[in-house]
Amino acid sequence: MVGADASRPLRPTDPRELGGYTLLGRLGEGGMGSVYLARDPKDSLVAVKVIRTDLAGEPEFRQRFRSEVERAKQVPPFCTAEVLDADPDHESPYLVVEYVDGPSLSSVVQQRGPLTPANLHGLAIGVATALTAIHGAGVIHRDLKPSNVLLAPGTPKVIDFGIARAVEGQPGNTRTDQLIGTVAYMAPERLDTKARKALTPAADVFAWGAVVAFAGTGRITFAADSMPAVAVRIMTAEPDLDGLTGPLRELVEAALAKDPADRPTARDLLDRLLTRGPDRALSSGELPRQAAAAAEAGSRFAVVDADPTNLQPEAAAPRLRDSRWAKPAAAGLGATTLLLGGLTVALLTGALPAGFAAGTGPSPSPSVSTSVSPTPTPTPTPSASPSPSASPSPSPSRSPSRSPAPQPYLKDPLAKGLYWEDLDTDPNGATCLFTDGAYVATTLKDWSYQCGGPADALQDFRLEVDVTLLTEGSCAGLWYRKRGLYGYELRVCQNVAYVLRHAKDDPQAGLPLREIPLTRPVVLNRKTRVAVSGAQSRFRFFIGGREIAAPVDNTVFTEGRVVIGVSTEERVGTAPWQVRFQNLAMWATAA
């Protein structure tokens, strides 16, 4: 996706036309397939990525690819190559993205040497802006590197999101001894198989530090004579930052911290870059324009206060424990409050690192999966007396003792099949169906029915979802740390919530660990935000943005899936019992 003159001639075996797009030349090749320069039916240049033939033959891959493409379209296009079209059902599945006519950062540095301080600062801002928008859409890039940063007119473009999530788990594809990405820009947690840390946006922040260091020095930060040696240096050595100075060097050092919790977020980077840098790099007139540029990261995705005279605290922005990054932006820039929404995806992938075996093995990091568990579970519950009025309110407040992940790794509006799917095969008539832009769980028996979802095995986690109880006696069921038939459940009914544990040979099975009368009842047919947060053995519960009881401690289950569905309040109401779910988000760390 660089200039048209950089494309190579088509090979005899390459297609000449695909889905109405005329292929003109080859732009590159990676672990997932080939990228072509093409013209669309309106004679505009586009980039078309055609998936490898061996992957195209896997039905599971096509299903995942379809879901990933739908989520990719939610990514703000301002600082990225916009997704224009895709056909996962084509004989050769393909993806069409915006053609970016500009050289890559890697080619510019190789040809001209390191960037000047002012250009380097501008590059750092552009890539941090892109990551802020990407992470705000719930996406982790996974393969940020100099060749994936194009120096397009106006602002750098970050390209080539990996569809690694769609490809992982495919037979004969990504082995357990391979990593998707480029080793020199991988965060330590991706290389350390013993730590088994979940992948978070902090991995992209580490890559940002390595990319900016390369642009400013002309060297790979953790260079060594082999890829395994590079990996060892990333995990154990200090970065080589000779040539970088001042505040930008401090930011790069922080971004390259070994512990992901010690790194600033992309938003933190952007705040600092907009208020510090080389002399005259950002004038007072340029500051609001740079903030506005961040806002353009997808119209409905961003709201920015760019008034340099209006300083307000950034109460909504998650911050690190290190007080250096907890300070609001310095005078001269208003608080740039980015409210970014979207869905998680990894879009285009780069090449696998040749000759590198990291021995990744199984990992608890979240992975996209369409597997579901429609098993109904009879679980009688105690009843409770009604009480009046309710008032839905925003999502739960953050824990004062533990910072949440900067962005959810999974977001699903539950308007159509992405991570969840229609279920209508239960012999007792229970269903989970997408209806009128929401996911509706129904049971005709006075027991629970579970709607499945991703197969991610989470340890510390946070789950938020909008629930609407549609009929009397209906309860929303949120199962967590669930393994097979067993795990925990938060059951939210109109006037009471229950915390239950379902364990094999458990004398307390089906009986609540905690019964929580609701001082603000959940009103029928009114949307209410419900959240569960788990850190080690402690669980917290929120309804309508309020913590409804003291935390519950229990040590039986240490990890497992998150599942949603419908439960009932025993002997309350009549069939059907129904709950509507919308706007679900999951974090792979506790709030």
Six token digits for residue 398: 């953050």
Phi, psi of 199 (to 5 degrees): -75, 130
> Does the annotation count 505 as an active-site position?
no
Q: Is residue 318 reached through a cis peptide bond, with omega within 30 degrees of 0 on the bond before it?
A: no
Nearest to 465 by CA among 525, 406, 540, 414: 414
**What DSSP line would sit under 413-462, residue for residue?**
--SSSSSS--B---TT--EEEEETTEEEEEESSSSBEE-------BSSEE
Q: Which among 280, 277, 339, 329 has a CA at the least distance from the CA of 307?
A: 329
Question: Cα–Cα distance between 21 and 40 in angstroms, integer?
Answer: 5
- Which one of 5, 87, 143, 424 is the catalytic residue? 143
Helix (H, G, I), strand (E, B) or coil at 133: helix
Residue 89's CB is within 10 A of a number of other CB atoms, namely 9
Q: How far apart are CA 287 and CA 274, in angstroms?
A: 7
Q: How far is CA 398 from CA 98, 123, 468, 545, 583, in A?
A: 38, 33, 23, 10, 19
Per the annotation, does 416 bind a ligand?
A: no
DSSP-derived secondary structure letter, 80:
B
Residue 537's region, left for phi above 0, alpha for psi from -120 to 50, else beta, is alpha
Extract the annotated binding site: 49
Q: Which residues are annotated as a binding site for ATP?
A: 49
Which residues are the active-site residues?
Answer: 143
